[in-house]
A = this chain, B = another copy of it.
Amino acid sequence: MIEVCGDAGDALRDLRDGATVLVGGFGEAGLPFGLLEGLLRCSARDLTVVSNNAGNGDSGLAAVLATGRVKKIICSYPRQVDSWVFDRLYREGRIELELVPQGNLAERIRAAGAGIGGFYTPTGVGTPLAAGKEVRNIAGRDYILELPIHGDVALIRADTADEAGNLTYRKTARNFGPIMATAAKITVAEVSRVVPAGAIDPESVVTPGIFVNRVVLASGPARSGPARSGSAHPGSREATR
């Protein structure tokens, strides 16, 4: 059973100084805007954020970075046309950057969730991003050793949650959500609706409920139409605030 939180602040109540926060999204698709607003209002400092990008414009993740409470970001693509908040902090030496190739980033997060202690990847071999990493030849090919990235909290955006915590996503907004959900001690999903257990087809569940602790309804109208199999259900709660 999941906890349906009244607001993002409640969902983030136990965020501690020094925590590692996994933030879903690729650009703005799959970015949990409501949870990031909750993060803005938290007082936790010295956070490490793991996310593909380092914020766009002045809202969402960029607004969180602007508070100065993030000491380090682990990501694959910080520099974008509208990443001025990160750019400034980075040039001022106020944020540490660990740059990871996108596939290694995804696999390191998956490894954390899957209990894998480390893995050998061909990505990055011979490049500056392999500096200091163990290189090993296996069956005639060079690989580097990469280690898992665990989170204290994962903040993700999904589409529909059922009361068992099962999640579906929408299109390419799925991106990092399913793997981040597996890699954190507490996973909070911002969703467009909550439906009764059984209203999501068990064959179509993307994130099983075991990986989800709390859900918060997204503010604003849902982008999607009603859930494919849960829409007609009388118990469903839609995001309409």
The CA-CA distance from A111 to B139 in the complex, in Å, is 14
- Chain B binder among A50-58, A69-77, A81-89, A113-121: A113-121
Q: Please, which residues of chain B bring their CB within 8 A of the CB of A170?
A: 203
In-complex Cβ contact of A139 among B117, B143, B201 (8 A) = B117
> In the complex the two chains form, is B168's CB within 8 Å of A203's CB?
yes
Q: Can you sample 22 A-B contacts with CB below 8 Å?
A: A107-B114, A111-B119, A115-B121, A115-B122, A116-B119, A116-B120, A116-B121, A117-B120, A117-B122, A117-B136, A117-B138, A118-B119, A118-B136, A118-B143, A138-B147, A139-B147, A168-B203, A169-B203, A170-B203, A201-B204, A201-B228, A204-B204
Which residues on A are within 8 Å of B, measured CB to CB? 107, 111, 114-122, 136, 138-139, 141, 143, 147, 168-171, 201-204, 206, 228
Partner of A120, one of B118, B138, B203: B118
A141: chain B residues at CB < 8 Å are 117
Known A-B contacts: A111-B119, A117-B119, A203-B206. Give 16 more (CB < 8 A).
A107-B114, A107-B116, A116-B121, A117-B120, A117-B136, A117-B139, A117-B143, A118-B119, A118-B136, A118-B143, A119-B119, A119-B120, A138-B147, A169-B203, A170-B203, A201-B228
